[in-house]
Chains A and B, each alone.
Chain A
């Protein structure tokens, strides 16, 4: 049975009818032509499909579209400036060569946006922990950490958060689980991410 689901995606209100089993990722990619969230594993491990659902980072492959009906969705493309140019976090990724193949990049940006939303400066180790739910196979992560570090410094000087994501306390493991395993973007979300990848990590 199909359900009409209405989401505000990067500020644009979109209604599409979908089966109740449609994940948010499928709804975005197949029905709304929002293709920057990527399918990487379908298991909530790789983070390539990460989006913000009402400012909470979520693996969109693990959430049903129907569960988040009425929500506001931010994808990596939504981190751009209103005029379409790259936003502050995106500019930092660009300046620090943080994308190679680029397939993990939209998810990385979402993780970084969620992490930096509260404006609190983080150490490199904390940044790495915040990116722990997002896999990259090209860069070795260093340039991505550099980009996040630089972006938060810039934002700190400017007195504004790097991204528009709310600085809500979205990071408890339980809260993350409610939304499907979080993309690991939130500081505390890494606990859930680590658990889902098995012991010894």
Chain B
């Protein structure tokens, strides 16, 4: 054990400083170690592993959004040859999945919501699991699932979050539909508005979005020789083994979750997907079982991004200084709580964006409805609000005749500023530098390609937290050990969901220990055999497991240098661990020789590092929390777009995205996160929407849910700034979520520039572009 200190300040000491010229491996745009196998086609994803005599499992789901289950009969399904069992909720040892959200003081003291693993009495959304069928073959399974008889008596339902919060709406869970509420009241908002030179107002709507990772939810489960239930699943969270144990009523030590390389997560594999069902099927049959959700199932029933209604009023001085903001947020949580209350907390804390605003009122509410549930998605509530606060910045800029870049720089947060929630910004903010970077790269705005075309340029800035909420006592552990030949093994429970999470750990250890990447193996994502590193969510893994690997590597390096110092009689301070050897003024020892010295002197050639995140106290509904997050990442995107004035079609001509990544552990991976996040955000801007009508999810497949293709996007130009100011190893900031924030606002801003009118509803379809073209900005209220 490192005995890592519990406070961030001391844990991070020595890690924060990194001088570029001293770095050997970090910052290099090295090909990630996992790429070769992926490109060779040999990587075995969750759905690629098979056992002989493996069974197959599939869910029967509710065809209606709100109903009482009046009859269930498995007889016809069981009669299909090859069917092994049909399970209902009564067959689940503990048929509940719990969600705990501390700090919610609304309907219940602290929100303790739950949902059934398999619904027994009521179904609350279209697609809710009702029965689990297990069969010898996929064919038998398909036939049997159609033959499970379930009768439903439809019940009154509510589909609009605003209506759900009205007094007379049907209660989705029997006691009002207010699932979560947060308030911020900072300064004197009324006085700020009364003293303002100008006030601008806007209402904005974001839509329901699907993660649409290419790999649908899948996994294989089996019982091993110790009687341990193994689940090898596509997940962002191996710690769900605890939830599985609770559902089955068995010790946590009897469940193991393995996350192989995941085919994309984006938050959609943060909550459990196949895990409880696979576990049940294995536990019941005692045989290996595979579960593969179809794309259509994934689109139908897995939690989505919250659609939100945002209402902003912004007060400012004539010189562009923002005096106050009054913000109201309403989000659709769908039928079950999942992580909605926390998503909304993120929206509240991020509601003013990367700007200094002294007087702020935020009221944020999320409501149960009978729509598909909503939960985690890259950006996690911190990204929908960008569409609101950046629209307000553009409105102010236009009203006051101040360039869009200038008004943002004038109000940009700086080190030492307080967020409305009370958290101080502790690190250097390069927001202005990201603005200059995108403008510098983009040069002159292009001319329209024809007479009925208009070209606009938009920019949008954002901030997004990295690391988990500070009262969650976050920690990550990693084990780093030399082999006798000087090669290196790393064990860390991090799930690698495609962002290079495992490869980055290798690069960090390589930097400290001088071992080339091709002599390092990273074992990852195994709840039984790798030290737990927590979830690959919340842009936390580089901060958490990165620092854990860094700590372990430093411990190991220092132990080896101390052993060599003792062996040679030289002071350890003068020794250096280079590639394959320890050198000093009068010392040249090969690494294998040094490792022998360690063993002779009872010095371990392995180390466990545990990193503890910054601590804080839990929040109450009224947010005066002080610190909520470890830190934030800042960035600016620029979009040049051409609008066809006859059709409303928007063509993206140029897209530039700059973020301060603190320190790029792998430059290519950071650029990949930026361009990929921007692309996903551009899909939300222009194309994507999960269409739900009266609770019925009409988005039945990829032929209807349109994510961007290669022809929908321009080359996305990523610019990586490195302040060295982050809390991760070598001063890195998290970069996974931040780039998805600005695109929708940047596109709207470009259209605003082209037309003098702004689309305020997502996605920005041609119809909406034409509609807004006829409605130029209303003037702000000047005082």
- CB of B41 closer than 8 Å to a CB of A: yes
- CB of A45 closer than 8 Å to a CB of B: yes
Contacts A40-B215, A94-B39, A103-B214 hold; do A139 and B672 have CB atoms under 8 A apart? yes
- CB closest chain-A residue, reference B49: A35
- CB closest chain-A residue, reference B681: A140
Q: Which of B258-266, B449-457, B514-522 contacts A (4 or more CB under 8 A)?
A: B258-266
- CB closest chain-A residue, reference B294: A42
B710/A197 in contact, CB under 8 A: no
- CB of B45 closer than 8 Å to a CB of A: yes
- CB of A168 closer than 8 Å to a CB of B: no
CB within 8 A of A102: which of B35, B295, B711?
B35
A143/B295 in contact, CB under 8 A: no
Contact flags A64-108 to B (C-beta < 8 A → 1, else 0) = 000000000001110010000010001001110111111111100
C-alpha spacing A125/B713, complex, angstroms: 10
> What is the distance, in angstroms, from A18's C-beta to the closest C-beta of chain B?
11
Contact flags B158-186 to A (C-beta < 8 A → 1, else 0) = 00000000000000000000000000000
Contact flags A176-200 to B (C-beta < 8 A → 1, else 0) = 0000000000000010000011101
- CB of B499 closer than 8 Å to a CB of A: yes
B676/A138 in contact, CB under 8 A: yes
- CB closest chain-A residue, reference B667: A97
- The number of chain A residues with a CB under 8 A from chain B is 62
Contact flags A106-118 to B (C-beta < 8 A → 1, else 0) = 1001000000000
B39/A102 in contact, CB under 8 A: yes
Contact flags B702-723 to A (C-beta < 8 A → 1, else 0) = 1110110111110110000000
Contacts A86-B39, A101-B497 hold; do A141 and B713 have CB atoms under 8 A apart? yes
> What is the distance, in angstroms, from A159's C-beta to the closest C-beta of chain B?
24
CB within 8 A of A198: which of B47, B213, B262, B704?
B704
- CB of B600 closer than 8 Å to a CB of A: no
Kindly list chain A residues whose C-beta atoms are within 8 Å of the C-beta of B294.
42
- CB of B38 closer than 8 Å to a CB of A: yes
- CB of B698 closer than 8 Å to a CB of A: no
Kindly list chain B residues whose C-beta atoms are within 8 Å of the C-beta of A174.
none
Kindly list chain B residues whose C-beta atoms are within 8 Å of the C-beta of A104.
214
- CB of A38 closer than 8 Å to a CB of B: yes
CB within 8 A of B41: which of A21, A75, A132, A142?
A75
Contact flags B496-515 to A (C-beta < 8 A → 1, else 0) = 01111000000000000000
A102/B679 in contact, CB under 8 A: no
Contacts A137-B214, A138-B264 hold; do A143 and B672 have CB atoms under 8 A apart? yes
CB within 8 A of A93: which of B39, B139, B715?
B39
C-alpha spacing A43/B295, complex, angstroms: 9
C-alpha spacing A98/B710, complex, angstroms: 13
- CB of B334 closer than 8 Å to a CB of A: no
Contact flags B668-684 to A (C-beta < 8 A → 1, else 0) = 11011001101110000
Contact flags B126-145 to A (C-beta < 8 A → 1, else 0) = 00000000000011000000
C-alpha spacing A22/B617, complex, angstroms: 57
> What is the distance, in angstroms, from B557's C-beta to the closest C-beta of chain A?
29
Contacts A101-B262, A198-B704 hold; do A41 and B295 have CB atoms under 8 A apart? yes
CB within 8 A of B711: which of A86, A98, A132, A144?
A132
C-alpha spacing A105/B214, complex, angstroms: 10
A138/B48 in contact, CB under 8 A: no
- CB closest chain-A residue, reference B712: A201
Contacts A101-B262, A102-B43 hold; do A38 and B214 have CB atoms under 8 A apart? yes
- CB of B216 closer than 8 Å to a CB of A: yes
- CB of B395 closer than 8 Å to a CB of A: no
A105/B712 in contact, CB under 8 A: no
C-alpha spacing A135/B668, complex, angstroms: 21
- CB of A131 closer than 8 Å to a CB of B: yes
A102/B263 in contact, CB under 8 A: yes
C-alpha spacing A19/B137, complex, angstroms: 12
B residues 652-703 in Cβ contact with A at 8 Å:
668-669, 671-672, 675-676, 678-680, 701-703
A101/B39 in contact, CB under 8 A: no
Kindly list chain A residues whose C-beta atoms are within 8 Å of the C-beta of B187.
none
B703/A197 in contact, CB under 8 A: yes
A135/B31 in contact, CB under 8 A: no
A101/B715 in contact, CB under 8 A: no
Kindly list chain B residues whose C-beta atoms are within 8 Å of the C-beta of A48.
214
C-alpha spacing A144/B263, complex, angstroms: 17
C-alpha spacing A36/B43, complex, angstroms: 8
B50/A33 in contact, CB under 8 A: yes
Contacts A33-B50, A142-B715 hold; do A201 and B35 have CB atoms under 8 A apart? no
Contact flags B339-377 to A (C-beta < 8 A → 1, else 0) = 000000000000000000000000000000000000000
C-alpha spacing A128/B29, complex, angstroms: 24
A140/B675 in contact, CB under 8 A: yes
Contact flags A125-137 to B (C-beta < 8 A → 1, else 0) = 0011101111111
- CB of B431 closer than 8 Å to a CB of A: no
C-alpha spacing A141/B683, complex, angstroms: 13
C-alpha spacing A94/B33, complex, angstroms: 10
- CB of A13 closer than 8 Å to a CB of B: no
B716/A140 in contact, CB under 8 A: yes
C-alpha spacing A19/B701, complex, angstroms: 25
B498/A36 in contact, CB under 8 A: no
C-alpha spacing A85/B707, complex, angstroms: 33
C-alpha spacing A103/B330, complex, angstroms: 35
- Most chain B beta-carbon neighbours within 10 Å: one of A45, A127, A143: A45
C-alpha spacing A13/B672, complex, angstroms: 39
A132/B498 in contact, CB under 8 A: no
- CB of B212 closer than 8 Å to a CB of A: yes
Contacts A137-B213, A138-B264, A196-B703 hold; do A102 and B713 have CB atoms under 8 A apart? no
C-alpha spacing A94/B296, complex, angstroms: 32
Kindly list chain A residues whose C-beta atoms are within 8 Å of the C-beta of B710.
127-129, 131-132, 134, 136, 141, 144-145
B214/A46 in contact, CB under 8 A: yes
> What is the distance, in angstroms, from A79's C-beta to the closest C-beta of chain B?
8
Contacts A138-B498, A141-B710 hold; do A99 and B679 have CB atoms under 8 A apart? no
Contacts A97-B31, A103-B213 hold; do A142 and B703 have CB atoms under 8 A apart? no
> What is the distance, in angstroms, from B185's C-beta to the closest C-beta of chain A?
39
- CB of A39 closer than 8 Å to a CB of B: yes
- CB closest chain-A residue, reference B680: A137
- CB of A124 closer than 8 Å to a CB of B: yes
- CB of B766 closer than 8 Å to a CB of A: yes
- CB of B53 closer than 8 Å to a CB of A: no
C-alpha spacing A99/B38, complex, angstroms: 7
CB within 8 A of B295: which of A42, A145, A190, A201?
A42
C-alpha spacing A124/B710, complex, angstroms: 10
Contact flags B33-65 to A (C-beta < 8 A → 1, else 0) = 011101111111101101000000000000000
Kindly list chain A residues whose C-beta atoms are within 8 Å of the C-beta of B500.
100
> What is the distance, in angstroms, from A10's C-beta to the closest C-beta of chain B?
9
Kindly list chain B residues whose C-beta atoms are within 8 Å of the C-beta of A103.
45, 213-215, 263-264, 498
C-alpha spacing A41/B500, complex, angstroms: 25
Kindly list chain A residues whose C-beta atoms are within 8 Å of the C-beta of B32.
97
- CB of B610 closer than 8 Å to a CB of A: no
C-alpha spacing A21/B143, complex, angstroms: 14
CB within 8 A of A41: which of B50, B668, B701?
B701
CB within 8 A of B766: which of A38, A39, A200?
A200
> What is the distance, in angstroms, from B36's C-beta to the closest C-beta of chain A?
6
- CB closest chain-A residue, reference B38: A102
C-alpha spacing A39/B293, complex, angstroms: 10
Kindly list chain A residues whose C-beta atoms are within 8 Å of the C-beta of B703.
43, 45, 196-198
Kindly list chain A residues whose C-beta atoms are within 8 Å of the C-beta of B498.
100-103, 138
* 5 sample A-B contacts, Cβ–Cβ < 8 Å, listed by A number: A35-B44, A103-B215, A103-B263, A129-B711, A135-B709
Interface residues of A (CB under 8 A from B): 19, 21, 26, 29-30, 33, 35-36, 38-43, 45-46, 48, 75-77, 80, 86, 90, 93-95, 97-106, 109, 124, 127-129, 131-145, 190, 196-198, 200-201
Known: A43-B701, A97-B29, A142-B716. 14 other contacts (CB 8 A): A39-B216, A40-B215, A43-B295, A46-B295, A80-B40, A97-B672, A100-B499, A101-B498, A102-B38, A109-B39, A131-B710, A132-B711, A137-B679, A196-B703
